[in-house]
A and B are shown apart, each in its own frame.
Chain A
Amino acid sequence: MSGSISKDVRLLAAIAYGEASTADDPQEIGGIAFAVANRCRAWDGKTVSELRSADPNYSYAWDGSNARFNKLMRTPDGEIDLNPAVKLAVVWAQKALANDGPDPSNGAFWWDGPDPSNGAFWWDGLDFRTNYANHPKVRDGFKWGSASDNIFGVREKRREVIVRWKIRNKKTGQIVDGGERGRYDSVWISTAAHGSTVFWQHNPDYLKASGGKAFR
């Protein structure tokens, strides 16, 4: 790889390389790079470093305990070409960060394009299977966008939630029950799966019922 890579490209490549399984699946590494870059773009165009500061819980590869993340962060520019998987992660990071054009789906929820994550903002690896009973996305409720995303062979977990308004009674000043704001059956929907990684977005019904933002 000729020339130096930017701080943001290196950080993104290290996340993708560190979070992916050791199989070094190009679509898995690329999907993670895109998921991070997608969230950066959606969240006021943050850099990867800014995203890390804004949401330290987003990925723990950067907390010092992930050997692959640490390895890529320490690899000198001139030695990136020597490790094909490290180089792959850097190339995907550059590609993900450069993909700042218009949404090819024109706002649709699904689309086919060069993004292996299929528009995701989050991902999960092997912990989704090994920690299924206590996994936050299982507790929140999730469903498969496609049956082929179920790479771990686990049950879909739907959770019916109804969100109701609380309003102030103008006469008494008391907060009382209002009408229904919305309902959802899962917080998460898978968008793709590659290697040992599942990619996620929020369920639009959840966003509507909670008033939440797609990238939070």
Chain B
Amino acid sequence: MKMTTIWMGALAILSGSANAAQVYDSYDAFYAAQPGAVFGAPIEQDADSIYSLPGEQGIYTHLRSALDGKTVRIDVAENRITVNGKTYRFARATTFPGEYAIDIDPASARVFLARGTRIRPSLLCLEGDGSGSGEADRHKQIFLLLDPLARNAAWLHLPSLLSSCRAVVATNYGRFAFPKNSYLFDETQESRIGLLVSYHTFAHRRFASVPAPKQVRLRFTHPEIPFQFSVQDKN
């Protein structure tokens, strides 16, 4: 065995051990540390770029960025996003089973862009919050636009529980994957002690689980409080 191979293997083991021991207090930080994370920082939003149109309800924000060498103009309203003049309504997205599209506060919404690669199209992700109570803060409205500058971009509504645009990862076979999370309970089924992160993708016009990355188990530091956790195991 070559020395470099041994060294790389040792690094992988060390990296795996560090990952298992690390306590996270942010899902964004956890997702950003996953291999293949697609999105980095959101597009910067000017606090003075919030507008209203006479005769139309609500407010919208205007963002401007670049993607694959082209200018992208984005308007985010309560129930839709408009990309270079083309509007995508939340209610018309292909929705992951069990999710519901709701209005969001445009002023707090975040939009992420990821360049395309040789084997994967560019991506746009919108992350927002509705007006919820109690544990609604654990749910994000996440919408993904595949190939956003194309004429027939796919428009998806992804799972909400403790997720994030930063949770989207590129797979090694040219697709993207995202988590569908569910709570793990204690033996009495009364206390939530962890989270099962199960990865899915969208292919052939339907959602499906993916072979890899498949699942990650997170354990909460304190039962019922999901905002501090560590990785229990991966497969």
List the interface of chain A (C-beta within 8 A of B). Answer: 19, 35, 55-61, 65-67, 122-128, 130-131, 133-137, 139-140, 159-167, 175, 181, 187, 209-212, 216
Complex Cα distance, B132 from A137, in Å, reads: 9
Interface string of B182-218 (1 = CB under 8 A from A): 0100000111100000000000000000000000000
Contact A164 B189 (CB under 8 A): no
Contact A57 B102 (CB under 8 A): yes
- Listed stretches B7-15, B135-143, B168-176; interface member: B135-143
Contact A165 B51 (CB under 8 A): yes
Complex Cα distance, B133 from A137, in Å, reads: 10
Contact B108 A139 (CB under 8 A): yes
Contact B50 A161 (CB under 8 A): yes
Taking each of A65, A165, A209, which has the highest tally of chain B beta carbons within 10 Å of its own beta carbon? Answer: A65
- Listed stretches B32-40, B52-60, B64-72; interface member: B52-60
Contact A136 B52 (CB under 8 A): no
Contacts of B27 in A (CB 8 A): 134
Contact A165 B52 (CB under 8 A): yes
Count of chain B residues near A, Cβ 8 A: 39
Contact B135 A61 (CB under 8 A): yes
Contact A122 B225 (CB under 8 A): no
Contact B105 A60 (CB under 8 A): no
Complex Cα distance, B132 from A35, in Å, reads: 12
Contacts of A166 in B (CB 8 A): 51-53
Complex Cα distance, B49 from A124, in Å, reads: 29
A60 with B134, Cβ < 8 A, contacts A136-B129, A140-B107, A166-B53 known: yes
**Consensus secondary structure, chain A interface:** mixed
Contact A57 B108 (CB under 8 A): no
Contacts of A161 in B (CB 8 A): 47, 50, 107
Complex Cα distance, B139 from A39, in Å, reads: 21
User: Can you sample 18 A-B contacts with CB below 8 Å?
Assistant: A55-B130, A60-B134, A61-B135, A67-B190, A122-B133, A123-B134, A124-B137, A125-B134, A127-B134, A127-B137, A134-B27, A135-B137, A139-B129, A161-B47, A164-B48, A166-B53, A167-B54, A211-B58
Contact B132 A136 (CB under 8 A): yes
- Which of B102, B133, B138, B225 is the one whose CB lies under 8 Å from A56? B102
Taking each of B54, B107, B225, which has the highest tally of chain A beta carbons within 10 Å of its own beta carbon? Answer: B107
Contact A163 B59 (CB under 8 A): yes
The 8 closest A-B pairs by CB, nearest first: A136-B129, A56-B100, A57-B130, A67-B190, A60-B135, A57-B132, A122-B133, A19-B134
- Which of B52, B131, B192 is the one whose CB lies under 8 Å from A164? B52
- Taking A59-B134, A124-B133, A136-B130 as given, write out 16 further A-B residue pairs in contact, using a Cβ cutoff of 8 Å, ordered by the A residue number: A56-B100, A59-B132, A59-B135, A59-B136, A127-B227, A133-B26, A134-B137, A136-B136, A159-B47, A161-B47, A162-B47, A164-B50, A164-B52, A165-B53, A210-B58, A212-B58
Complex Cα distance, B54 from A181, in Å, reads: 10
Interface string of B84-102 (1 = CB under 8 A from A): 0000000000000000101
- Which of A65, A175, A210 is the one whose CB lies under 8 Å from B59? A210
Contact B26 A134 (CB under 8 A): yes
Contacts of B51 in A (CB 8 A): 163-166
Contact A35 B133 (CB under 8 A): yes
Contacts of A164 in B (CB 8 A): 48, 50-52
Contact A136 B137 (CB under 8 A): yes
- Which of B26, B48, B53, B192 is the one whose CB lies under 8 Å from A162? B48
Contacts of A55 in B (CB 8 A): 102, 130-132
Complex Cα distance, B122 from A184, in Å, reads: 36
Contacts of B136 in A (CB 8 A): 57-60, 136
A58 with B133, Cβ < 8 A, contacts A136-B108, A165-B51 known: yes
Contacts of B133 in A (CB 8 A): 19, 35, 58-59, 122-124
Contact A165 B54 (CB under 8 A): yes
